[in-house]
Amino acid sequence: MKQALCDRSHSAQILDILNEAIANSTALWDYQPRTRASMNQWFDAKEARNFPVLGFFDEAERLLAFGTYGTFRAFPAYKYTAEHSLYVERSARRQGLGTKMLEQIILHAQGQGYRTLVGGIATENWISIATHVKCGFEHSGTIRQAGYKFGRWIDLSFYQRLLSGPARPTED
């Protein structure tokens, strides 16, 4: 297994992983599969803000897991906080890749001077919650019945991890 940054050439594999999660889980709260065009917009946004898309690949260059982070809220005072996401390809789950990916997200965010990483997780997703706790995240709140999918209401729990942040934060 190797780790590398993902780029637009990995769009189809990322899209497959995302669309499987949309269809079969509450990891993504979309109702419809994402399109190839949406991936171009997604990569545009990542590149514009210098947000990495990290990946783990097998020997055949098949994407096994990917993770990224982005803007938490679009107000200037939140510039040192990022919300992350990570996804593991269905056949590669339960092999520790989620933990490894989260560790890489933490390292990259730390290297870019972020102070706080936030993960929004469906409260029923105990595997993701356990992974986050294992990586030093703490529960910071739950919004009850925040989403509706698969004919039922879903609670959204937030987990956060504090990083060292910038040496000299600014308000510019």
* CA atoms of 38 and 167, how far apart (whole Å): 36
CB neighbour list of residue 58: distance below 8 Å, 6 or more residues apart: 1, 64
Residue ranges per domain, the chain?
Answer: 2-162
The structure tokens listed for 83 are 């919300």
Dump pLDDT digits (tens) for 30-80: 999 999 999 999 999 999 999 999 999 999 999 999 999 999 999 999 999
Dump pLDDT digits (tens) for 104-149: 999 999 999 999 999 999 999 999 999 999 999 999 999 999 999 9
Q: Is the pLDDT of residue 172 over 90?
A: no
- CATH class of the 2-162 domain in this structure: alpha beta
Sheet holding 152-162, edge to edge: 2-5, 53-57, 63-71, 81-88, 116-122, 152-162, 138-149
